[in-house]
Amino acid sequence: MRSVDLIRRKRDGQVLTPSEIAHFVEGAAQRTWPDYQLGAMLMAIVCRGMTPDETAALTGAMIASGERLDWGADAERAVDKHSTGGVGDKTSLILAPLAAACGALVPMMSGRGLGHTGGTLDKLEAIPGFRVGLNADEARGILGRVGCVMMSQTERIVPADRTLYALRDVTATVESIPLISASIMSKKIAEGVRGLVLDVKVGDGAFMKSLDDARTLARSLVAIGTAHGVRTQALLTCMEHPLGAACGNALEVAECIDVLRGAGPADVRELSLELAARMVALTGIADARQRVETALASGAGLETFGRMIEAQGGDRRVIDEPTRLPDAPYRFALKAGHAGIFQGWRAEAVGRAVVALGGGRDRAEDAIDPGVGILVRARRGDHVSPGDVLAELHYRDEGRRARAQALLADAGLITDNRPPELPLLREQLE
């Protein structure tokens, strides 16, 4: 079975057999297919799509490419959350310790940034010393002591996805429901969780721009989870504008600490509480929302976050001293040119501006500057006057700052009209 023949078959719109899909996945896992052929197959899938049976076969083959974790007697309490990606989407760092403080076990296997969206691992690595590369025994030990662990894929967990995930980011093959579904669900099923909450983003800053596409993706994810015995539910949430104020890795960590202290932006706090409560409920714990709110108010969530940081080699002092987080040396204030009502930031433009500053990747091998980013000062519906600061750019390089500023030039409009309300939670699917 030649790889070029499989690429041609999918390019021409033919349905691949399970064995052909398994051959492709094995080629990614064993690196027997070169990157240019893997990229060609990914593009063929994006252009031609996959049937539900092909998507199921792809997910199964990716799970089978590595080992599955087992949490033993505690498995029924093992739950997780996954977001399809957005700008300023930092809820994982908040909800994992909150859910753990309520008695859930959260073995969260996360990814890096894709395209204009940030990645949980990149945010965590902004914490000095924080280790995301753990083996299964280390993860099991931290989970038992702390209740949550946030890690990258181990060498043995879905190795095919590690290769394909990195290639999708740099080959313009991110926006594909079959590829997104298989990537997300193969990792979560291999993770050994019994409950999963999915945050499917919809809007300008999401990969799914329309509500119909988001629904299609959510249904695909829930169907795969259910078929594999994982209690799965999905929320469709708004990503027309950035979530919270901070966009950029260290800036987002600092904002998460603020939220865990009971402060921070209202939208970040509310979404984190809602997702955490649903995770806790999937374990069978009663009064989940009340328990999560109590964990936030009492500081138990913050304490758990600190313990997780320490357990994974990070500098716990960032909890009380956020200045220990990386910081870019320069600031630039983007100001309003005239008075009116701010219509909000186009989320994708803000995300691309963060990448331009060095806070994301254009190529798989690019290093990320954890200290750069954007603080959104003006929010949708705010009245602004000439000279008011709309956004603050944290930057290290003047050329990158100029590129980021250009991307933001038309990303935030000021008019005389009040923009319509955009509910944070659009729909839910179980």
Our answer to whether residue 152 is catalytic in this structure is no
Our answer to whether residue 161 is catalytic in this structure is yes
> Which of 377, 405, 401 minimizes the C-alpha distance to 391?
377
Q: Which structure tokens are listed for 122?
A: 């990149």
Q: How far apart are CA 341 and CA 338, in angstroms?
A: 10
Rounded to whole angstroms, the maximal C-alpha distance in the chain is: 66
Measured CA to CA in angstroms, residue 161 lies from 66, 180, 363 at distances of: 10, 10, 17
Our answer to whether residue 298 is catalytic in this structure is no
Backbone angles phi, psi at 303, to 5 degrees: -60, -45
Our answer to whether residue 401 is catalytic in this structure is no
77, 90, 123, 168: the catalytic one is: 168
Q: Which structure tokens are listed for 258?
A: 């603020």
65, 83, 176, 183: the catalytic one is: 183
Residue appearing with tokens 């594909």: 176
82, 188, 194, 291: the catalytic one is: 82
89, 161, 169, 199: the catalytic one is: 161
Our answer to whether residue 82 is catalytic in this structure is yes
Measured CA to CA in angstroms, residue 100 lies from 81, 95, 186, 301, 370 at distances of: 12, 8, 23, 8, 27
10, 162, 187, 394: the catalytic one is: 187
Task: Kindly tell me the sign of the dihedral angle through the C-alpha atoms of 275, 71, 109, 314.
Answer: positive
Contacts of 379 (CB under 8 A, 6+ apart): 342, 344
The number of helices, as runs of H, and strands, as runs of E, in the chain is 16, 13
- State the catalytic residues: 82, 161, 168, 183, 187
